[in-house]
């Protein structure tokens, strides 16, 4: 029997309090490590008022830091991750004898480094993306001034990122794209990288036995081809291109409907684009979709579209859609080709511009208009994910690496 380890997972946001790709990876891996008998503590930022400082969830011990109200203050979340987390981490490390640390976010990991000083146990970081590079592309929140964006957020992000990547003993990535991205930004980190491919919960994300009933539950039309995207409404997600392209798709497929799930600073801009383009009857904004309803939307859709124009480190939503038997079409950005090409090369678009999106969506909708071909493709999507993207194989690799690092640490000690 494998040794029972005491594991500390350091996060900024975590499930179920917050939902996103990084949060889901951290949640799925730590929950399964706990199910295998390990003692796992998760430290993360408070996002809802009144939540307890400590509680047991999913077999994990959750520790929250900071105040939920901080997200309403300029730089509040970053400051909480850097400062409010330090007290919680210091007290927890003094109380518990951990065998390994698994950081998923830079700022609280940096806080851990500052609060513990000299490294005494292994640290295995998961690199999801370069926050500094994302800031360069997107800019900081538009509430901030350009000076603050340049001097505070970007410099702080880069300094924190470098310190964390230098400190980590090993760095896990979810895709070949992330490994290449990390090495191109920080050559010193290349020798530390190990790929542990992400997965999907195959028990939760499953095809619907009755898709008609799911659509009725969501108040979606039964007689239209539904295209779905689940994204933060920010520029790098390519949603403006998607809306433009969809308007052109309607010329040949007037029965199609686009559902956009998510929220973000571009929401009003996108809604104006829909109205100005005369698309109000064919584009629906679902807003934030909680975890319980997310599966329903995947199951109800005929086609999932990922229109990203930059930084698609893995594409959790792509796998979730495929696991529900829904074909996914994506731009050739980041790890998307790694996921979709082995299933069907036609599912990878030839570019990110509206023209490429229009041609790709039109082609797949034609494919799906044949009921037998559509059913066959849906079956292939599910089987493809089952064959290589379950979480258990990924956690097998992660657990072996953790044991390797902790054994080496014991020998060094």
- Domain shared by 248 and 395, yes or no: no
Please name the residue that has the structure tokens 């089952």: 386
The answer to whether the CB of 39 falls within 8 A of the CB of 4 is: yes
Domain that holds residue 233: 211-388
Q: Are residues 326 and 343 in the same domain?
A: yes
Q: Which positions ≥6 away from 140 have C-beta within 8 Å?
A: 148, 149, 153, 154
Q: How deeply is 12 buried, as exposed, middle or buried, from its count of CB atoms within 10 A (0-12, 13-18, 19+)?
A: buried
Per-residue model confidence (pLDDT) at position 143: 47
The answer on 61 and 11 residing in a single domain is yes
CB 196 within 8 A of CB 396: no
pLDDT score, position 73: 53
**204 occurs within a structural domain:** no
Does 205 map to a domain? no
Same domain for 382 and 396?
no
Do 15 and 29 lie in a common domain?
yes
- Collapsing DSSP to helix, strand or coil, 236 comes out as helix
CATH number, domain containing residue 400: 3.40.50.2000
Residue 206 lies inside a defined structural domain of this protein: no
Do residues 13 and 40 both lie within one domain? yes
Q: Is the pLDDT assigned to residue 331 strictly greater than 90?
A: yes
Evaluate whether residue 75 is within a structural domain.
yes
Residue 224 has pLDDT above 70, yes or no: yes
- For residue 118, what pLDDT band results from cuts at 50, 70 and 90? confident
Position with higher pLDDT, 389 vs 311: 389
Does residue 341 share a domain with residue 235?
A: yes
Which 8-state DSSP code applies to residue 1? -
Mean pLDDT of 127-133: 83
Token representation of residue 314: 């893995």
Question: What is the sign of the dihedral through the CA atoms of 249, 250, 251 and 252?
Answer: positive
The residue-averaged pLDDT of 347-361 equals: 97
For residues 186 and 131, give the distance between their C-alpha atoms in angstroms, rounded to a whole number: 13
Is the per-residue pLDDT at 343 higher than 60? yes
| 235-278 tens-digit pLDDT | 989 999 999 999 999 999 999 999 999 999 899 999 999 999 99
The pLDDT-based confidence of 407 (bands split at 50, 70, 90) is confident
Q: In 46-195, at which residue ranges do the beta strands (DSSP E only) sit?
A: 54-57, 60-65, 100-103, 124-126, 170-173, 193-195
Report yes or no on 159 lying in a domain.
yes
* Cis amide bond preceding 3, omega within 30: no
* 1 is a domain residue: no
d(CA 283, CA 313): 27
Percent of the chain with pLDDT over 90: 76
For residues 206 and 78, which has the higher predicted lDDT (pLDDT)?
206
- Alpha carbons 324 and 377: distance in angstroms, whole number: 12
Q: What is the pLDDT of residue 142?
A: 45
> Residue 273: which residues within 8 A CB-CB, separation 6 or more?
240, 243, 244
* Residue that the structure tokens 């399964």 belong to: 32
CB 63 within 8 A of CB 8: no
Q: What's the total number of domains in the chain?
A: 2
Angle subtended by helix axes 371-388 and 316-323, to nearest 10: 120
Please give the order of strands across the beta sheet that includes 39-45. Answer: 54-57, 60-65, 39-45, 6-10, 100-103
Considering the entire predicted model, what is its pTM? Answer: 0.90
Band of pLDDT at residue 409, cut at 50, 70 and 90: low
What pLDDT is attached to residue 145? 47
Burial class (CB in 10 A: 0-12, 13-18, 19+), 222: exposed
Query: Are 241 and 248 spatial neighbours (Cβ–Cβ below 8 Å)?
Result: no
Q: Which residues of 312-325 are buried (b: 16+ CB within 10 A; e: fewer)?
A: bbbbbbbbbbbbbb
Q: Residues 138, 180: one domain?
A: yes
Q: Are residues 79 and 158 in the same domain?
A: yes
- Mean pLDDT, the chain, rounded, equals 90
Query: Could you tell me if 406 and 100 are in contact, meaning their C-beta atoms sit under 8 angstroms apart?
Result: yes
Predicted confidence (pLDDT) per residue in 363-380, tens digit: 999 999 999 999 999 999
Give the span between the Cα atoms of 51 and 365, in whole angstroms: 45
| Cα 413 from Cα 142, distance rounded (Å) | 48
Residues 382 and 404 in one domain: no
120 and 67 housed in the same domain: yes
pLDDT in tens, 135-175: 666 654 444 445 555 556 677 788 899 999 999 999 999 99
Residues 261 and 297 sit within 8 Å (Cβ to Cβ) = yes
- 326 with 397, same domain: the answer is no
Lowest-pLDDT range, 21-35, 152-166, 278-292, 323-337?
A: 152-166
Neighbouring CB atoms inside 10 A of 18's CB total 16
What pLDDT is recorded for position 141? 43
């Amino acid at each position: 029997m494998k040794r029972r380890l005491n594991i500390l997972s350091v996060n900024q946001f975590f499930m179920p309090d917050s939902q996103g790709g990084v949060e889901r990876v951290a949640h799925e891996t730590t929950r399964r490590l706990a199910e295998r008998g390990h003692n796992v503590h998760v430290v993360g930022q408070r996002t809802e008022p009144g939540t307890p400082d400590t509680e047991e969830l999913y077999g994990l011990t959750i520790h929250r830091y900071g105040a939920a109200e901080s997200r309403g203050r300029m730089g509040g979340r970053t400051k909480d991750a850097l400062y409010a987390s330090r007290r919680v981490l210091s007290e927890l490390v003094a109380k518990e004898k951990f065998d390994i640390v698994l950081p998923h976010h830079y700022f609280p990991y940096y806080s851990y480094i500052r609060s513990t000083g000299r490294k005494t146990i292994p640290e295995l970081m998961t690199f999801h993306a370069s926050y500094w590079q994302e800031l360069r592309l997107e800019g900081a929140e538009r509430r901030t001034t350009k000076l603050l964006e340049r001097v505070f957020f970007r410099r702080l992000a880069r300094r924190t990122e470098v310190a964390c990547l230098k400190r980590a003993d090993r760095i896990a990535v979810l895709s070949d794209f992330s490994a290449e991205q990390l090495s191109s930004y920080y050559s010193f980190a290349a020798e530390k990288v190990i790929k542990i491919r992400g997965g999907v919960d195959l028990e939760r994300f499953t095809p619907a036995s009755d898709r008609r009933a799911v659509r009725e539950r969501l108040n979606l039309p039964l007689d239209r081809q539904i295209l779905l995207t689940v994204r933060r409404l920010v520029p790098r997600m390519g949603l403006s291109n998607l809306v433009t392209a969809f308007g052109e798709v309607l010329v040949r497929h007037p029965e199609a409907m686009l559902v956009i799930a998510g929220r973000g600073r571009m929401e009003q801009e996108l809604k104006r684009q829909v109205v100005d383009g005369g698309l109000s009857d064919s584009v629906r904004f679902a807003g934030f979709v909680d975890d319980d309803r997310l599966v329903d939307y995947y199951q109800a859709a005929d086609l999932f579209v990922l229109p990203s124009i930059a930084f698609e480190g893995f594409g959790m939503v792509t796998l979730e859609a495929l696991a529900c038997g829904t074909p996914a079409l994506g731009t050739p950005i980041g790890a998307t080709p790694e996921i979709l090409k082995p299933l069907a090369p036609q599912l990878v678009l030839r570019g990110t511009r509206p023209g490429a999106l229009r041609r790709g969506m039109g082609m797949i909708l034609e494919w799906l208009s044949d009921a037998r071909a559509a059913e066959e493709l849906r079956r292939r999507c599910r089987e493809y994910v089952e064959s290589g993207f379950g979480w258990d194989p990924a956690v097998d690799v992660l657990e072996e690496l953790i044991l390797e690092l902790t054994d080496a640490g014991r020998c060094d000690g």
